[in-house]
């Protein structure tokens, strides 16, 4: 059985099924930002020790992609729009 520490890591999250990933984001994630791209809404969440983007189709209103990452370089499109204070406190 995985320890609680292991369950907080990105590798564990990526090994979950799509539905389990969604449940994890909705149950433990902190919404940091929402932005719109043509055809999609992107919701950025802080989840445990990493970040997750949910790509939501505007036409079907369903999540089409769950993208987890821990590299802060990937936060650059959001950096002027979010406050990391909300996840550090």
What is the pLDDT, as a whole number, of residue 77? 85
Count other Cβ atoms within 10 Å, centred on residue 70: 13
Residue 28 maps to which CATH number? 3.30.67
Q: Can you tell me whether residue 33 is helix, strand or coil?
A: strand
Distance, CA of 55 to CA of 58 (rounded, Å): 9
Judged against a pLDDT cut of 90, whether residue 24 lies above it is answered with yes
Structurally, how many domains does the chain consist of? Answer: 1
Distance, CA of 42 to CA of 77 (rounded, Å): 11
2 falls in which pLDDT band (50, 70, 90)?
A: low
Q: Which domain holds residue 25?
A: 4-88
Q: Please write the tens of the pLDDT for every residue from 35-88.
A: 999 999 999 999 988 999 999 999 999 999 999 999 888 888 888 877 766 555
């Amino acid at each position: 059985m995985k320890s609680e520490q292991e369950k907080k890591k990105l590798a564990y999250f990526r090994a979950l099924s799509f539905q389990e990933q969604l449940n994890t984001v909705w149950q433990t994630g902190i919404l940091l930002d929402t932005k719109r791209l043509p055809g999609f809404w992107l919701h950025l969440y802080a989840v445990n020790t990493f970040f997750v983007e949910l790509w939501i189709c505007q036409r079907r209103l369903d999540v089409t992609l769950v993208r987890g990452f821990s590299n802060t370089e990937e936060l650059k499109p959001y950096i002027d729009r979010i406050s990391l204070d909300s996840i550090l406190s």
